[in-house]
Amino acid sequence: MSSERLQKIIAAAGIASRRKSEELITSGRVQVNGQVITELGSKANPETDHIRVNGKLLQGAQRHSYLLLNKPKGYVTTMHDPQNRPTVMDLMRGVKGRIYPVGRLDYASEGLLILTNDGALAHQLMKAASHVSKTYLVKVAGTPTEDAIAKLRQGVSIATDEGKRVRTAPAAIRIVKESANPWYEITLIEGRNRQIRRMFEAVGHHVEKIKRVRYGPLTLDVPPGEYRSLTLQEIARLKSATALQAAPGARKPAKKSSR
């Protein structure tokens, strides 16, 4: 086997995602043949070099796992929580090997979450340029006007966690249940932290519930708190979706009219 970038080797071994693997390297927690490596461009041969992460010898690439979880609300999407709140990893009993969530659903949100140890795929899904669509059912306090919904479809200015202002990409929105507190189906091609909540706050409405029901080619089909393995066909379609949407000129989801 020829030399490969260290972050790719670490991700393939299921230690962390590609992005987290890069952080491990830059923070000086990776050694190759006894030498601390901090440069991201560094390469190694996983078959002949002794690679240690946090002092532990890398055992090489492990078999990839791909799981779909129906996350209930009241769980955080992290490996460990400093506040000792329940994490999605508490729901993954019986899973062999190390896996980690792709992206996040916040504490009060629920629905489809992918977990894997395929660092390359996780990296492709999480980077902003992937544009893999994600669909949510959203319950809103009060009834937004047609003008407000039109603004959300076109994109609105929201604050990021860093305090900057960004404009959201166009979103597909349709109403699925009319009431004093209506439900909408919303499809996004990006996934900023608390994006949907901040989008509706921008037009004067509080979001009461969020449930992710689709992620690219995947559809939520297991009860809350349960998980299943992806089929070979689903894995292939998910990988194809990242390749397709990252290609130049990839199309954005069509806007849906309200009914």
Q: Looking at the annotation, which residues are catalytic?
A: 106
- Its sign, for the CA torsion 221, 222, 224, 230, is negative
What is the DSSP annotation of 30-89? Answer: EEETTEE---TT-EE-TTTS-EEETTEEP-------EEEEEEPTT-BSSS--TT---BGG
CB 65 within 8 A of CB 117: yes
User: Which residue, 186, 188, 166, 167, is CA-closest to 176?
Assistant: 186
Task: Give the span between the Cα atoms of 239 and 124, in whole angstroms.
Answer: 9
Two tokens at 114? 């992918």
Task: Give the span between the Cα atoms of 24 and 22, in whole angstroms.
Answer: 5
CB 90 within 8 A of CB 125: no
Task: Give the span between the Cα atoms of 104 and 185, in whole angstroms.
Answer: 19
